[in-house]
Amino acid sequence: MVYYFKAEVQSEKGSSEYDDFALGPEEDNAEAVIFMGKDKFENEHLLKHSHPKNIWFHVDNHSSAHLYLQLSNEDQLLTFDALKINESVLKQLAQLTKANSIKANKLNNITIIYTPVDNLYTDGSMDAGTVTFHNPKKVKRILVAKKENAIVNKLNRTKYEITTEEFIKNQQALQRQYLTDKKNRERELQNQERELAKQYEDQKKRNTDPYADLFSEQNKDLNSNEFRNENWVEEEFW
């Protein structure tokens, strides 16, 4: 089984003295999706089938559950360095990860580590649930000073579960959508690059022959009946 949670995405915009003069009600806050396996054996399926751009969370130097943040289609296209996880979501994830560690849940000032799924490495020689990293520099950290039960309790009220088979099917669908979005974005960037290259070549030609456009317009005017006087008579060439 795979457990899912929904974390409220709170606005990071600072309050303003003009907030009371808003023209309408604020939009409902979005929700971030968090999931975790039922146990360390279930985590093997999550590692294998989770979208490679999802973000993995774990307590540093202590045994804990493996939690995952499901990224949106837009965020999946970003690099890990460019990705900015909402501060409120990051805090909720850190608290939930801490709460799912028997030892760390009793301690203060513990560190939560997180990294993309595609930075995780495991093989058949490791114990179930054990992972290491392809690139340790790609691991970020967040300090949790103490547990906040209110945050964990709120997340637990959103908890629901699905089968491993359903999870795999969902992740496969997300990966197909990701590949489609990635191809569309690459095609759009290629079109933009071609357009910029064309503009560059056009400008280069104008710089080489700055009067080319002027003469072209003059020739067009001379060959047009619109700018010939009323006594003009077409010559006969035969």
Residues 78-127 have pLDDT tens digits of 899 999 999 999 999 999 999 999 999 999 999 999 999 999 988 777 77
Helix (H) or strand (E) holding 25: none
pLDDT over 90 at 229, yes or no? no
Model pLDDT, residue 188:
87
Contact 9, 86 (CB under 8 A): yes
Best CA proximity match to 167, nearest among 41, 35, 40, 32: 35
Model pLDDT, residue 110:
96
Model pLDDT, residue 10:
87
If one counts every other C-beta atom within 10 angstroms of the C-beta of residue 176, the result is 10
Both structure tokens of 113: 């580590």
Between 26 and 152, whose confidence is greater? 152
Question: How far apart are alpha carbons 235 and 167 in whole angstroms?
Answer: 83
- To the nearest 10°, the Cα dihedral for 107, 32, 156, 39? -70
Question: How far apart are alpha carbons 236 and 238 in whole angstroms?
Answer: 6
Model pLDDT, residue 156:
97
0.85 exceeded by the pTM? no
Contact 134, 119 (CB under 8 A): yes
| Alpha-helix residue ranges (DSSP H) falling in the chain | 40-49, 73-76, 87-99, 149-156, 164-208, 212-222
pLDDT over 80 at 222, yes or no? no
Best CA proximity match to 130, nearest among 141, 118, 138, 122: 122
Between 177 and 101, whose confidence is greater? 101
Model confidence at 213, in pLDDT bands (50, 70, 90)? low
If one counts every other C-beta atom within 10 angstroms of the C-beta of residue 64, the result is 23
- For residue 23, give every residue at least 6 positions away whose Cβ sits within 8 Å of its Cβ, in sequence order, or none: none
Cα angle value 83/35/95 (rounded, 5°):
75
Cross-strand bridge partners of residue 80:
none
pLDDT over 70 at 225, yes or no? no
Question: Measured between alpha carbons, how far apart are the two ends of the chain, in Å?
Answer: 93
Rg (CA), the chain: 30
pLDDT over 90 at 193, yes or no? no
Question: How far apart are alpha carbons 12 and 103 in whole angstroms?
Answer: 32
User: For 1-56, what is each residue's pLDDT tens digit?
Assistant: 999 999 999 887 654 443 444 444 344 568 999 999 988 777 888 988 998 999 99
Q: Lowest mean pLDDT of 62-76, 173-187, 207-221, name the range.
A: 207-221
Q: Lowest mean pLDDT of 121-130, 168-177, 178-187, name the range.
A: 121-130
